[in-house]
Amino acid sequence: EAQVTQNPRYLITVTGKKLTVTCSQNMNHEYMSWYRQDPGLGLRQIYYSMNVEVTDKGDVPEGYKVSRKEKRNFPLILESPSPNQTSLYFCASSNQGWTGREQYFGPGTRLTVT
Partner 1 sequence: RKEVEQDPGPFNVPEGATVAFNCTYSNSASQSFFWYRQDCRKEPKLLMSVYSSGNEDGRFTAQLNRASQYISLLIRDSKLSDSATYLCVVNEKTSYDKVIFGPGTSLSVIP
Provide the binding-site residues for partner 1, judged by CB under 8 A. Answer: 31, 33, 35, 40-45, 48, 50, 56, 58, 88, 90, 97-100, 102-103, 105-108, 110
Nearer to partner 1, 72 or 105 (CB): 105
Amino acid at 41: L
CB of 16 to partner 1, least distance (A): 27
Buried b (16+ CB within 10 A) or exposed e, 21-48: bebbbeeebbbbbbbbeeeeeebebbbb
Phi, psi dihedrals of residue 26, rounded to the nearest 5°: -110, 25
- Give the shortest CB-6-to-partner 1 separation in angstroms: 9
Least distance in angstroms from the C-beta of 10 to partner 1: 11
